[in-house]
Structure 1
Amino acid sequence: MPSLPETRVKRSRTFEQVGLDYMGPLSVKSITGLVKRWIALFMSFTTRAVHLEMAGNLSAENFLHVLRRFIARREYPKLILSDNANQFQLIFKTIMEENANFLATKGFGDYGIIRPIDFISPMASLDLPINYDSDQDEYTSYTIKTKDKPVKYWTSTLSTLDVFWKLWKEEYLISLRERTQRELTSPRIVEKRILHENEIVLLNEPKVPRGVWKLARDGKIRRATIQLPNGKQIDRSINMLYHMEIDATKDREENVDDEPEEPIAQ
């Protein structure tokens, strides 16, 4: 298996490089009855954080609103990796063309002087109220009363961030080395890692979408007996089983029989 790309192992801002795909459709109950909804899934390559946005349909216009809401919450990503869906390609192509022609067509005459607030939260889309007291007669904006408070908060945030990146480097990157290795030695794919009894796996079904593959447990090594959720058992080759990112052997407790020791004769 080749090495992971730089976007997976290099320290960067969360959601700076993301993967994008749609999940669904899901049936949602509304006032008019059951309707179909999709979920746009954004995953950060570096931290594997996940951001979900609901999509009413698969049109390019709806995806543009989904992308706008994502950017308003997570800032602009430097890289978006997706499949060749029509709505993705149309919006990305439109954005690239608009950015290329922006300076030539718009110019700089319509922009005002930059204010101090523009450096603190430039064009931020706030979705949470700062003042939670609904009983007051007059709304007053939140103000920072002392200089020490924001400095203390900023220092604490940096310390917490350093701890996170330390764990990310020492634990997460090392865990990526423990990926299951597959090698192609013949027309068959040979699995180096031996399956264990009662390990949870995914069952490959050629004519069924991957999202609805059944979970199963194997009891043999070369040819596994699979138990489906409905209790039915079928036989499949281990080359049709795919490991999930959980290892049953780590959580398995060794059963040791505590037998009483025989007394020593004196």
Structure 2
Amino acid sequence: MEAAALKIEFHFIPPHAPTFGGLWEACVKSFKHHMRRIVGNNHLSAESFTTVLAQIEACLNSRPITPLSSDPNDLQALTPGHFLIGRPLLTVPEPNLEIPENRLDNWQKIQRITQHFWKRWHEEYLSTLQTRYKWTTMNPNLLNGSIVLIRDDNLPIGRWSMGRVVATHPGQDGLIRVATVKLPNSVNLIKRPITKLCPLPIEIDPVTAADQPTAIPQ
């Protein structure tokens, strides 16, 4: 109903043709890769396994894809959750469960499995947003106004630290290594090295990009 109200039309790939969906099939491959290693030899009941899959599904569908608008005051990003329920998916934070497994009840074991998945998959997804080349190849500089994800190892499941670049700080060679980022719903500004910032894919004006100096590889 939400998609119909926005006049969104879905075009599906043919049945039994997963190779047609390279982008999302890569996400499925990533899920299977981490799922096998995290669940391992744990014996889960049907209900517990269903709960784990539902929570992991929420993790995958919470990922930011692209900025929602070019408004400099809008720091929201489009997520798969917008296509499902019309808004980002939210989860209830759970305490860190890095304690011996024999001290955990069934629900806590499920949460620890989900936390381990989130930690591994979250880091892998952020890495895909930072294209890494050999030192012989130069990257375009980070542009003012870009929405970025900020690397933070202590975020709870389904939460993403986002901000908008308001200033860049090039070195003497003109290459940007540090940026000032504005956080959402806050007047505070933070500085981070570009290795801790993951720009969301956006369409950049080639004329504007041509005027920018070149950045060092990350």
| TM tier, smaller | 0.3 to 0.5
Q: TM-score, normalised by structure 2?
A: 0.33
The structure with the larger Rg is 1
Which has a greater percent of strand?
Answer: 1
Q: Comparing both chains, which one has the higher relative contact order based on Cα–Cα distances under 8 Å and sequence gaps of 6 or more?
A: 2
